[in-house]
């Protein structure tokens, strides 16, 4: 009710099964590794801290501010989670947030949950970490590194994650790359500014009250250089691939080629089933009408059954 969904959560139906499953596999691998790493780094304190912070990020997404013309900015939280907890725990926190949003609030689908976790959790966190660490190094311990780094990390996490979403839509044949990429990228380049402002505001508050929380991540440089490299690679890959894909949308049409391949494979299978198995159903609209009648009958009988058991329950109690 108070909770406004971001245009970043992909619902079911928008990604092809292949893309969904590949991203599930990637997500499971990374989340599994993160669980192991968190077990080593944070020790036994981990569960309450990550659980409550996940709740805080979810609740923090309610804290909006008006931008202009009825639109408002609010938080996704990948950057602030990365800065407060380090990359591995942040991935788990974002996994929990995105998971609950999908499971309970239908903000994002279930089959595409792997993709949503991948975009907001893994890409968002890796990019945040890469940008933030880079600025920390440049600033060499001076506070501007926290704020400038925080702002750009937050912006980049939104922007790059949006590019990832656009590419996935393009690969799924849902939206052509040359439209999806500039559209998603353009909108989220603006939304990212809101994310950046809120992240800086939150960092300013925490820097003033509990400086140790904001600077705690600095000790983990060596342990997490893999994430830094991953962030760099993701950012680079998407930054290079996106304009290319956008300029040559045909480049993505390997999906279509695959379709042709599948058709070829299906042909003999189709021939195995003789025409007379389902006589008359060659006519497509007739089949649709039949399906409609069958469906209506199913629903009708279920409704009848429910009404009957309800009445029985009513008289029994």
Partner 1 sequence: MHIHFLDPFIAGQSAIHRLDPRVKFVLAVAFILTAALTPSGAWPVYVLLFALAMGVIVLSELGVGFVFRRAVLALPFVLAALPVIFTLPGVPLFSLSLGSWGLTATADGVERFVSIALKSWISVQIAIVLSSSTPFPELMVAMRAARVPRLLVSIFGLMWRYLFVLADEAMRLLRARSARSGATGLPGMKVGGSISWRGRVAGGMAGNLFLRAIERSDRIYVAMLSRGYDGEVRDLPLPPLRALHWLVLICGVALLGMLAIFGFLFYG
Partner 2 sequence: MHHEIEVSGLSFAYPDGHVALRNVSLHITPCEKVALVGPNGAGKSTLILHLNGILNGGSGTVSVCGLEVKKENLARVRAMVGLVFQSPDDQLFSPTVYDDVAYGPIYQGLSAAEVDGRVREALQAVRMSNYARRVSHHLSMGEKKRIAIATVLSMKPEILVLDEPTAGLDPRARRDLIKLLDDLPITMLVSTHDLRMVQELFPRMVIMDEGRIVADGETAVLLKDQALLEAHGLELP
Binding residues vs partner 2 (CB under 8 A): 1, 204-205, 207-210
The interface with partner 1 within residues 192-251 (CB under 8 A) comprises 193-194, 196-206, 209-210, 213, 249
Question: Measuring CA to CA, which residue among 171, 140, 191 is closest to residue 256?
Answer: 171
283 belongs to the binding site for partner 1 (CB under 8 A):
no
Shorter beta-carbon distance to partner 2: residue 208 or 265: 208
Kindly state the helix (H) or strand (E) to which residue 73 belongs, with its residue range: strand 72-73
Answer for which of 22, 111, 223, 232 binds partner 1 (CB under 8 A) is 111
Question: Cβ 199 to partner 1, closest distance in Å?
Answer: 6
- The DSSP call for residue 15 is S
Instruction: At 198, list the tokens.
Output: 């809120």
Answer for which of 248, 266, 311, 312 binds partner 1 (CB under 8 A) is 266
Question: Cβ 232 to partner 1, closest distance in Å?
Answer: 27
Answer for which of 25, 221, 229, 303 binds partner 1 (CB under 8 A) is 303
Question: Measuring CA to CA, which residue among 18, 295, 2 is closest to residue 171?
Answer: 18
HEC per residue, 265-297: HHHHHHHHCCHHHCCCCCCHHHHHHHHHHHHHH
The structure tokens 């945040």 sit at 128
- The DSSP call for residue 121 is I
Question: Cβ 222 to partner 1, closest distance in Å?
Answer: 24
d(CA 297, CA 308): 16
Shorter beta-carbon distance to partner 2: residue 123 or 146: 146
The interface with partner 1 within residues 5-24 (CB under 8 A) comprises 5, 7, 9-17, 20
Question: Measuring CA to CA, which residue among 248, 141, 131, 280 is closest to residue 199?
Answer: 131
The interface with partner 1 within residues 89-108 (CB under 8 A) comprises 92-93, 95-97, 99-100, 102-107
Instruction: At 11, list the tokens.
Output: 């619902």
Helix axes 177-209, 78-85, angle to 10 degrees: 40
Answer for which of 35, 232, 237, 255 binds partner 1 (CB under 8 A) is 35
The structure tokens 């092809």 sit at 16
d(CA 14, CA 60): 27
The interface with partner 1 within residues 142-171 (CB under 8 A) comprises 169
Spatial CB neighbours of 224, under 8 Å, sequence gap ≥ 6: 86, 87, 88, 129, 133
Answer for which of 23, 27, 30, 50 binds partner 1 (CB under 8 A) is 50
Question: Cβ 210 to partner 2, closest distance in Å?
Answer: 8
Residue 255 binds which entry of partner 1, partner 2, none, CB below 5-8 Å type-dependent: none
Residue 31 binds which entry of partner 1, partner 2, none, CB below 5-8 Å type-dependent: partner 1
Answer for which of 25, 39, 137, 280 binds partner 1 (CB under 8 A) is 39
Q: How many residues bind partner 1 (CB under 8 A)?
A: 117
């Amino acid at each position: 009710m108070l909770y406004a969904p971001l245009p970043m959560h992909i619902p079911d139906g928008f990604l092809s099964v292949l893309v969904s499953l590949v991203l599930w596999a990637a997500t499971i691998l990374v989340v599994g590794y993160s669980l192991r790493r968190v077990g080593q780094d944070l020790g036994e304190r981990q569960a309450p801290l990550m659980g409550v912070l996940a709740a805080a990020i979810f609740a923090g997404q309610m804290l909006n501010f008006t931008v202009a013309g009825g639109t408002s900015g609010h938080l996704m939280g990948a950057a602030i989670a990365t800065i407060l907890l380090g990359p591995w725990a942040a991935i788990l926190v974002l996994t929990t947030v995105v998971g609950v949003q999908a499971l309970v609030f239908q903000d994002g689908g279930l089959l595409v949950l792997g993709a949503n976790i991948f975009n907001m959790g893994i890409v968002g966190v890796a990019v945040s970490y890469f940008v933030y660490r880079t600025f920390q190094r440049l600033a060499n311990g001076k506070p501007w590194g926290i704020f400038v780094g925080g702002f750009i990390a937050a912006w980049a996490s939104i922007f790059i994650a949006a590019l990832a979403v656009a590419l996935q839509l393009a690969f799924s044949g849902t939206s052509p790359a040359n439209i999806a990429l500039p559209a998603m990228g353009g909108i989220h380049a603006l939304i990212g500014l809101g994310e950046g402002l809120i992240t800086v505001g939150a960092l300013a508050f925490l820097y003033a009250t509990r400086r140790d929380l904001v600077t705690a991540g600095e000790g983990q440089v060596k342990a997490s250089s893999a994430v830094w490299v991953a962030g760099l690679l993701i950012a680079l890959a998407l930054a290079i691939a996106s304009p290319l894909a956008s300029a040559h949308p045909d480049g993505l049409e390997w999906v279509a080629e695959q379709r042709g391949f599948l058709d070829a494979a299906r042909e003999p299978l189709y021939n195995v089933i003789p025409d007379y198995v389902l006589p008359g159903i060659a006519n497509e609209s007739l089949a649709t009408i039949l399906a409609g009648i069958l469906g209506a009958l199913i629903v009708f009988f279920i409704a009848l059954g429910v009404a009957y058991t309800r009445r029985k329950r009513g008289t029994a109690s």
